[in-house]
Amino acid sequence: MTIRPAYVYKICIIGDSAVGKTSTILRWSEGYFRKEYQSTVGVQHYSRIVNAGNDNTHVKLMIWDLAGQDVFRQLRASFYEGAKGLIIMFDVTRQETFASISKWIKEAMGFLGENIPYIIVGNKTDLVPGETHFFGAKEYAKALKAPFILASAKTGTNVNDMFMEIGNIVHAANLEQLSKEKHWVK
C-alpha cells in the first residue's frame, strides 16, 4: 500500500562545507553512510514520509541540499524558495563551522523571513568521545529557542530524531498558520 502524505514540506539543510549535510541525508534517506568525500554540485533533494504531530499525520519531507561553496545568488534564491524549515548544521570538531551558524541564519532569514522554523545540529559526535560543551552550542540554541541535536551521520546516532524534530516543528507551524487563515475567512 502506498502512503499518501497529507502535507509536503520543503526543508533546506545548510551549513559550511564538509560538516556532513549530504552524508546525513544519505544516512536518513537510504540508510547508509557514504565514506568517500564528494562535494555536492548544485542542488539535490531527497524525500521520505514521516509521522508528525500528536495525531501522527503522514508528512512528506523534501530535503534540499546545496553545495557549501559560494554560488550565484540566483541559485540560492531558488534553493530557499518555498522552504518551510531549516536544518542548520555544524561540525563538532571544527569551531569555525559553529561560528558560521549566525551567518547561515541571517542568509536564510533574508530569503524566508524571521519566523522560519529551524533546528541546530552538531554533527560528527563519533569523533569526540564523552561529553563536551561543543563551543557552547546548546546554550546558543537555547537563546534562539531552537531545538539542538547532537548527531553522527557515520553511526546514525540521532539522525532519525533530527528529521522527526524538524518535521514536527514545521508541521506545528503550518497548522498554526492554517488556523489563523481560517479565522480570517470567518
Report the alpha-carbon distance of residue 35 to residue 100 in Å, rounded. 25
- If one asks whether residue 19 binds ligand GDP (CB under 6 A), the answer comes out as yes
- If one asks whether residue 29 binds ligand GDP (CB under 6 A), the answer comes out as no
- If one asks whether residue 20 binds ligand GDP (CB under 6 A), the answer comes out as yes
What x-and-dash track marks residues 20-59 binding Mg ion by CB under 5 A? -xx-----------------x-------------------
Provide the 10 A C-beta neighbour count for residue 181: 9
Among positions 64, 66, 68, 88, the unique one binding ligand GDP when judged by CB under 6 A: 68
User: Phi and psi at residue 17, in whole multiples of 5°?
Assistant: -60, 140
Could you tell me how far CA 105 lies from the centroid of its own chain?
A: 12
Binding part of the chain for ligand GDP, among 112-120, 122-130, 138-146, 167-175 by CB under 6 A, reads 122-130
101: CB partners within 8 A, 6+ apart: 15, 88, 90, 120, 140
Provide the 10 A C-beta neighbour count for residue 108: 20
- If one asks whether residue 129 binds ligand GDP (CB under 6 A), the answer comes out as no
Contacts with ligand GDP, residue ranges (CB under 6 A): 17-23, 35, 37, 40, 68, 123-124, 126-127, 152-154
